[in-house]
Structure 1
Amino acid sequence: MLVRILRRLGAATAVATMLALATPLTADAAVPATIPLKITNSSGRGDAVYIYNLGTNLATGQQGWADAAGTFHAWPAGGNPPTPAPDASIAGPASGQSTTIRIPKFSGRIYFSYGQKLVFKLTTGGLVQPAVQNPTDPNRNILFNWSEYTLNDSGLWINSTQVDMFSAPYAVGVQRSDGSTASTGHLKSGGYTGFFNALRGQPGGWANLIQTRSDGTVLRALSPTYGIETGALPSTVMDDYINRVWSKYSSSTLTVTPFADQPNTKYYGRVSGNVMNFTNSSGAVVTTFQKPDAASIFGCYKYLDAPNDLVRGPISRTLCAGFNRSTLLVNPNQPDTTTANFYVDTVTNHYARKIHAQMADGKAYAFAFDDVGAQESLVNDGNPQQAYLTLDPLS
């Protein structure tokens, strides 16, 4: 099973360290120490572009950055208050141009910013990454985004993510050993402005997720996780749906089959005393869930925490997907992979709904476990020849 690991690093930001425990693939040849990443600027913008490759060196466990040649540099010790991090920026391509860098065996993020370098600082606990839900974050007025990737001995996994925010659009890709390529993350024509227009038209506070600069430039839409955290989105936004789910499964059973390749592994959920208890086929209780709230649903944590185990974590992932997509009432057998059932209820994750509607291939990482049912915007290969990052138009 492909495992996508999301963990919060510090109080300021949510960081996906993705796929460090990905299932090994059979590779045609050993994965080299570095592979090329071709970055193409199709944005149409005249701003300077800055690239950053930040993450964890998988050989040593050290956190740091890689330069354009793919050489790893460990972060120096930080301080309290935080001290400026070394300038890890790489000059990106001008509009209509491409730049190729090397990426090492890393699990981390490739950031890109327009017009300004990003501000990174170091605490005694490590790197402080941008947290634009904080109005005082120095990066709040910079247009930027990031991709997550893992390159290890089993291959490359690289994604287009909207788990934290929807911002400057981009796509990712990989060239396979046979010369073919796979890509994901492109928006439909007009999809960037289409998303923001759709979010503005969604009642209930969803328009408050949009952040703009003082000159009127649209910078991003925060994920509803941060919308709840900052008060931009009402904390009660999912209550009606949650109450209906809890009522339904007080008198009927929710069946979860968390592993597609293990159809006989099933867990059975029933609500009793405001708690959903899951039993195995022998009738033994294996885990319980308190009634979740919107923060738990959008963040896939808190009351829907998903440890990296073989029982609670997989059940929680399934519940998280079912709540975000609002499929738990239309199908008592989860996960529901019928996309026609997704986001149909009037109470749903409208941020995720509107992102998926604007993706050229329908795939996105609009919430943490959007990979349930293979709806994620991810490409991988066991013997990658080259990776791609394309900066798309903001239109």
Structure 2
Amino acid sequence: MPSARKLMVSLAVAAALGAAAVVVGPADPATAVADTIPLTLKNTSGSGEQVYVYVIGTELASGKQGYADETGAFHAWPAGGAPPVPAPDASFAGPADGASKTVQLPKFSGRVYFSYGQKLDFRLADGGLVQPAVQNPSDPNHDILFNWTEYTLNDSGLWLNSTQVDMFSAPYSVGLTAGDGSTKETGELKPGGYQAVVNGLKGQGGGWEGLVQSRGDGTPLRVLAPGHGIASGDIPAGVMDDYIDRVWSKYATDTLTVTPFKDQPDTVFKGKVNGDKMDFTDGTGAVVTSFDKPDSDSVFGCYNKLDAPNDQVRGPISRTLCAAYNRSTLLTNSQQPDADASGFYQDGVTNHYARLVHDQMKDGQAYAFAFDDVGNHESLVHDGAPKDATITLGSFG
């Protein structure tokens, strides 16, 4: 089942939100997805600040990038510039605390942003929309409290997820009403969960406290994902090195078995460290791909030395490795992927950001790193014929 993240391409700077190629069959007229579906925004945040909402992405019918208003009508972005120029104001007012508001969600691959107390500053570059990059202290949105959800709505249905891949910030959950009338929801924090994540990182030691960003008055704005924290110098670059070294040592003598496809149990790859490479062989014993020893940044970002191309060999192996490194299961289980969440994050050297975020979710589901969907631990709702969708702004308390 494709997730919203699998269907989206999210570029960090001066780039637009675009749909990945999706091959689907013709829609059944009896269950065809309407051009827009109702999206109900519920505000249970406890905040008295004005909420601003944005629906931004790629209109799938035209392939153009832009935004939607409350009615679901599409507005294409005008041309950008160098340096980037201010984008048109794409915001509309969200519901007050304790209230709800229903708008129309169009067939986009995109994001729904929401901010508290202040509108976001979007710019247009020659290459498209510049997304907020709060790991940069000079980003104009750095001191604004905001968050976003990712979604794809197309003829095959709705994929809607809460995401913490880039940061953990203003809490929210997502949900939908399926075609059969049942409801699904995910992303809701436990009571006190927002502050528990912040306090957990502050008390972790080892530099993890550097991921917490606060306003001048001390109010927490967000926790950066550790990959961004390495890039900004807010967390030590070698924070995962000890674990990586132990994995490298183990598989110099042991064999790592990766079975990346649940529906293809006979597709098995064997991994072993040979010098500065971890080689993977197929059933014939032929080396099909090799990985350099990763660094912490590659682990947290699931890229660079753990690059995952959209193929049937290297990509699936890399996804599995990335999830296992972040969850610290490679030393305890040489059969991967490991789907048993009870064994995740048990090593002293682990992705403590992901550990705390998952621990504070009511259902344990989250998108705390790019391939958190390995084993279906992501915070995603999907239906092929959705009646409506919901985004609930959660409590900071």
TM-score after normalising by structure 1: 0.96
* Aligned mates of 1:119, 1:283 — CA distance in 2: 54
Counterpart position of 1:318: 320
Spell out the pairing of 1:268-347 with structure 2 (5 A cutoff): 268-347=270-349
Paired residues of 2:122 and 2:130 also in contact (CA < 8 A) = yes
| 2:39 aligns with one of 37, 43, 49 | 37
Spell out the pairing of 1:129-140 with structure 2 (5 A cutoff): 129-140=131-142
- Aligned-pair distance for 1:25? 11
Counterpart position of 1:228: 230
**Any gaps of 5 or more consecutive residues in structure 1?**
none
Spell out the pairing of 1:1-395 with structure 2 (5 A cutoff): 1-2=1-2, 4-5=5-6, 7-11=9-13, 21=22, 29-395=31-397
- Aligned-pair distance for 1:59? 1.6
* Aligned mates of 1:128, 1:324 — CA distance in 2: 29
Relative to structure 1, the CA distance from residue 23 to residue 342 in structure 2 (aligned partners, 3 Å threshold; closer, same or farther) is: farther
* Aligned mates of 1:52, 1:278 — CA distance in 2: 44
Paired residues of 2:35 and 2:106 also in contact (CA < 8 A) = yes
SS of the residue 2:184 aligns to: strand
- Aligned-pair distance for 1:308? 1.1
- Aligned-pair distance for 1:178? 2.3
Deviation track 1:347-389 (CA, whole Å, cap 9, x = no partner) reads: 0000000000000000000000000001000000000000000
SS of the residue 1:171 aligns to: strand
Paired residues of 1:57 and 1:63 also in contact (CA < 8 A) = yes
Paired residues of 1:109 and 1:149 also in contact (CA < 8 A) = yes
* Aligned mates of 1:167, 1:239 — CA distance in 2: 27
Relative to structure 1, the CA distance from residue 12 to residue 77 in structure 2 (aligned partners, 3 Å threshold; closer, same or farther) is: closer
SS of the residue 1:251 aligns to: coil
SS of the residue 2:319 aligns to: helix
Paired residues of 1:19 and 1:157 also in contact (CA < 8 A) = no
* Aligned mates of 1:258, 1:17 — CA distance in 2: 27
Relative to structure 1, the CA distance from residue 264 to residue 229 in structure 2 (aligned partners, 3 Å threshold; closer, same or farther) is: same
* Aligned mates of 1:20, 1:380 — CA distance in 2: 18
SS of the residue 1:250 aligns to: coil
Amino acid at match of 1:391: L
- Aligned-pair distance for 1:21? 3.6
* Aligned mates of 2:159, 2:26 — CA distance in 1: 11
SS of the residue 1:319 aligns to: helix
Which ranges of 4 or more aligned residues in structure 1 deviate by more than 2 Å? Answer: 1-8, 10-13, 15-28
Relative to structure 1, the CA distance from residue 10 to residue 177 in structure 2 (aligned partners, 3 Å threshold; closer, same or farther) is: closer
Amino acid at match of 1:252: D
Range moving further from structure 2, 238-247 or 18-27: 18-27
- Aligned identity (percent) is 63
* Aligned mates of 1:71, 1:38 — CA distance in 2: 16
SS of the residue 2:247 aligns to: helix
* Aligned mates of 2:9, 2:33 — CA distance in 1: 27
* Aligned mates of 1:16, 1:316 — CA distance in 2: 24
SS of the residue 2:238 aligns to: coil
SS of the residue 2:204 aligns to: coil
Amino acid at match of 1:155: G
- Aligned-pair distance for 1:2? 2.4
Paired residues of 1:25 and 1:155 also in contact (CA < 8 A) = no
Paired residues of 1:18 and 1:149 also in contact (CA < 8 A) = no
Paired residues of 1:20 and 1:150 also in contact (CA < 8 A) = no
- Aligned-pair distance for 1:117? 0.4
SS of the residue 2:98 aligns to: coil
Task: Give me the CA root mean square deviation.
Answer: 1.8
**Any gaps of 5 or more consecutive residues in structure 2?**
none
- Aligned-pair distance for 1:190? 1.0
Relative to structure 1, the CA distance from residue 198 to residue 46 in structure 2 (aligned partners, 3 Å threshold; closer, same or farther) is: same
Deviation track 1:132-186 (CA, whole Å, cap 9, x = no partner) reads: 0000111111100000000011000000100000000000001012222100000
- Aligned-pair distance for 1:90? 1.1
Deviation track 1:195-223 (CA, whole Å, cap 9, x = no partner) reads: 11111110101111000011111100000
Relative to structure 1, the CA distance from residue 18 to residue 336 in structure 2 (aligned partners, 3 Å threshold; closer, same or farther) is: farther
Amino acid at match of 2:37: I
SS of the residue 2:179 aligns to: coil
Count of aligned pairs between the two proteins: 394
* Aligned mates of 1:212, 1:136 — CA distance in 2: 14
TM-score after normalising by structure 2: 0.96
Paired residues of 1:326 and 1:344 also in contact (CA < 8 A) = yes
